[in-house]
Structure 1
């Protein structure tokens, strides 16, 4: 089976590039219902050719596609990618798909995530061509709202995760066989301070400065964060490269707290503010830490130090982290062995502070992330894909799926 998969994919490069061109030249920006529908109809046609049963789901902003392949085995596999991009309608006409002399493909959303959407199709083609059927079901979900997120997408991911035994998130890959094995979870809070407003000159004695209290609360919030590794200037991509350090996310602090918005209705320095607020984003790599910080943040509501002020804290955990469990380690070991044995490569495990659908699948099932084709500068007008990685990455993906059904 292995040789059949490798030989088949080696001969599919031109067809892969042609399909990638078609998909990239479909405008499918986040929030573009017509565009995401067109993109997912293209995917549905390709999946139906493989024998998949396809189902479209809609809201007023996007089209979502669920494709299902039936096998004869016991385990169900969830694959997740996305067809939406961050680019507006008309972008594909301005800079349509092209391949340069160095084997890089260019175009809106070519890397995030269209090259990988097509990778999955060809990986599944190769598996079926080789006679692979040792699975109960392969569920391929192409999200139409990954870039902005939505209750619709989150509900679909939760539903499908509970129908599968493990998940592989087919999102943008890291360079040199990089994959993502941990992602931070996300929590959001609003701190609202109510004080007693009044004239600074004549009423200070019976007023309570809400901004003063907010400043104290913000200081306490930041005390909950993990320490930074050092001078920020020493941890830029360039600074690390200059020191010969390969950045795989290893310097991202375990817990981070960011007060990103602050305000008050008061706009005069001669008035003691009677209200103030801030909005806070908290990210953690572990469920235990996320829950601990949630408790400690909410406890700050009872710790006002400025007499006459009241602190109210609302919000909480939004999305859990994608943790590296022992089962995830088994998945990593399989992928690493295949990459080493078949391509002489070494897999680098990345950690990431950003979220993908992998955070949501990981709530239910073991999840491995970022097995896509390698790309660069996503979300920019110079986003590109290294097509030289398409066949190796697709081959490793297909072989990994076949092996994973043996270990769960």
Structure 2
């Protein structure tokens, strides 16, 4: 991990730490203790657990770096360790919802105490190694801000009352023709360039070969995906990968997650809203994205194709800061649009290591590397991703059946 963009000896570093920590609490401001207790499926976690786990991370990997440090609640280590086998056993992920104790009030107090200790530690000054761990903790917290929102959306959708997390203004729906723009052909450099923070899975930067290809100028819309549904896309086995077709049959999928049966409305964090025909379709699995691309006579981009296009473009778009918490229609313009924000874009690339990859030393080496099997890469961030958390080289990853995240489609094609 490179030394991150964290000001190790200045008030700016402390201000950044406190801003991100407060942002997590701010996302929970309108939620009840009952809301934050729910675990609606094994892949999701209760909001209360997110609040505690992100705090445990700083206590374990930053404050615990000092041999003299004593944990505030040693018995909580088992509850809020996520998957770090090398630091000890953990409570089973599918059963996080049974943790009615500690209470929400106790967890809020835990956050406050650890934030106070972290503030004192940062104020004393930290070396580059500890600064890197602090920055990793902040990036980790931002990942959990996104997970908190996607998990509460799933929990609210499971509630027959279909409660709303908040209110969002409707975006102006615009029709923008889809065009395919040619990409570079030949050897290109991909991976993190070495400035600022990076996860280990973005390294090392290396050369790869791009064949002649093109990417769509915008994301696939609800209206385009609706045409796939109405054309019997979920009933045509020939469009699907074998595991995808088996999943469709087993789970009874007939439309994207959160679309209502009438195919004219969908559940959002603002409650049930009319389906915006020009907004990006979202909450699709890799299997659905791949089947749609096949139906459309196209394919999904590789992650190298996507990154080569994105690396020359500014990181702008519809992110968490807009507080819409839902994809918006494409703006008018030339070139590739919506490269960042709105929805994570499935790629045709399996999540594997780059040539020469080396995980972080110690327990933090479990952060990414051990998940490099059976998953697919997504790029670009979503409408619930913090803007300063994303970059062109960022590699997100999920198993191919996952669709509770804000995931969508950009088409690619051979030339």
Question: TM-score scaled to structure 2, two decimals?
Answer: 0.30
Structure holding more strand per residue: 1
Larger Rg: 1
